[in-house]
A = this chain, B = another copy of it.
Amino acid sequence: MLSLAELARISGAALEGDGSRLIFGVATLKLATPEQISFFTNKRYRADLASTAAAAVILAPDQRDAYSGNRIVSDNPYLAFARISAALNPEFSADVGIHPAAVVDSTALLHESVSVAATATVGAGASIAEGCVIGPGASIAAGVEIGANCRISSRAVLLERTRLGQRCRIGAGAVLGSSGFGFANDAGRWVPVPQLGGVLLGDDVDVGSNTTVDRGALEDTILERGVKLDNQIQIAHGVVVGEDTAIAACVGISGSTHIGKRCTVAGGVGFVGHLEIADDVHITGMSMVMRSILKAGVYSGYPSTTNSDWRKNTARFQKLDQLARRVITLERELNQINQAESSVDDK
C-alpha cells in the first residue's frame, strides 16, 4: 500500500489530484476498485475510462481532459504503470539458504544470501553471487557462473560453460549451453563436431520458459545486456543478440547469425545462419529472414523484404486469382484483335 504522492514520485510522473489517497494495487480500467490504480494507453478502452471505479488513472498529457478523477500524468504512461505496479507488487522473496533436499557440490561457491530450492543441483566449481534464487529442480552444471540477483526458475538447466551477468531471469524449463547442432558428413553418415564454445549472458537478460540456447561451436553464443527472450525460442550456436533486443515466442535463429541492438523480432520468425542484422531492425511475425539486413527499418515476409513491399505484394496476392482471370481476359481480347487484324490483312 502506497499513497498516490509516493507512486507519482516513484514513477517520475506528475500528480494531479489527492496525493494522500492510498493505493493497494493495480487493475484494468474495467475491473479496478476504488482501492486500485489503473492506466489508459489504448484508445479502444476509452469507454472503460469514462466508467472506471479506480482511485486514480495513469495517462498521457494529451488524454488528461478525458478523465476528471485523480491522475498520474506521464509522457510514457505504460512505463509509469510498470514502475508503480512493481512498487505495489514486489517480487516474492525466497527463503535464503540451501534446502536440505538440494544437492550442491562441496566445491561450488555460493554467496550466503543465495536461495537454493529443493531438488535443485549445483555442480563442482559453479559460482552463484549474492541474492540469487535457484528454483526447485533447477540444474546448474559444473563451472557455471551466475552474477548477483539472478532468478533461475524451476527445472531450468544451465549446462557447462554458461556464464550469466547480474539480474538475469531464466524461465522454467529453459536450457542454456546445450550442444550446438554441428556435424560433418562422412559418406552419408553424420559425425558430430565438438561444440567447444560457451553461452554468455550480459546483465538484465531474460530467457523465457522452455527456450533453448546452444553453446557455441568455437566461439561463445552471446546474449548482450538487456536482451529479452520470450518462451519456446531456439538460439543456435554462435548467435549474437545485441543489447536491448526483444524477441517474441517461437522464434528460431540459426547458427552464427548476429542480430543488432534495439531490434524487435515478433513471434515465429526464422533466421537462416551466418546473417548480419543491423541495429534497430524490426521484423514482423512469422517472417523468414534469408539475407542480411543492413539498414534499420521494418521487414516482413516469406522470405522477408521491407514491410511496405510485403504489404503491397500481399494485398495483391489476396486477389491473385482475380488477377490471373484478368490476364486471361486480356489474352482473349488481344487474340480477337490480332485475328481481326489478320483478317483485315487477308482482305
Chain B residues with CB under 8 A of A316: 320-321, 323-324
> Of residues A159, A172, A212, A316, which shows the largest number of chain B Cβ atoms within 10 Å of its Cβ?
A172
Copies of this subunit: 3
Inter-subunit contact A173/B210 (CB<8 Å) = yes
For residue A318, CB closer than 8 A to chain B, the reply is yes
Chain B residues with CB under 8 A of A198: none
Closest to A251 in B: B250
Chain A residues proximal to chain B, CB less than 8 Å: 26-28, 31, 76, 78-79, 81-83, 85-86, 89, 92, 99, 101, 103, 117-119, 121, 123, 135-137, 139, 141, 153-155, 157, 159-160, 169, 171-173, 175, 178-179, 181, 183-186, 188-194, 196, 204, 206, 208-210, 212, 214, 218-219, 226, 228, 230-232, 234, 236, 244, 246, 248-250, 252, 254, 262, 266-268, 270, 272, 285-286, 288, 290, 302-303, 305, 309, 312-321, 323-324, 326-327, 330-331, 333-334, 337-338, 340-341
> Of residues A78, A123, A262, which shows the largest number of chain B Cβ atoms within 10 Å of its Cβ?
A78
CB distance from A249 to the nearest CB of B (A): 4
Closest to A250 in B: B252
Chain B residues with CB under 8 A of A137: 119, 121, 137, 139, 155, 157
Inter-subunit contact B288/A285 (CB<8 Å) = yes
Inter-subunit contact B173/A173 (CB<8 Å) = yes
Chain B residues with CB under 8 A of A333: 334, 338
Interchain residue pairs A-B with the least CB separation, the first 3:
A178-B209, A82-B184, A103-B118
Question: Taking A118-B121, A193-B82 as contacts, is the C-beta distance between A232 and B244 under 8 angstroms?
Answer: no
A317 to B310, CA, bound (A): 9
Chain B residues with CB under 8 A of A337: 334, 337-338, 341
Inter-subunit contact B326/A331 (CB<8 Å) = yes
> A155 touches which one: B139, B189, B208, B330 (CB < 8 A)?
B139
Question: Taking A172-B159, A219-B28 as contacts, is the C-beta distance between A252 and B228 under 8 angstroms?
Answer: no
A-B contact pairs, 7 of them (CB 8 A): A117-B121, A139-B155, A155-B157, A178-B209, A210-B210, A330-B334, A334-B334
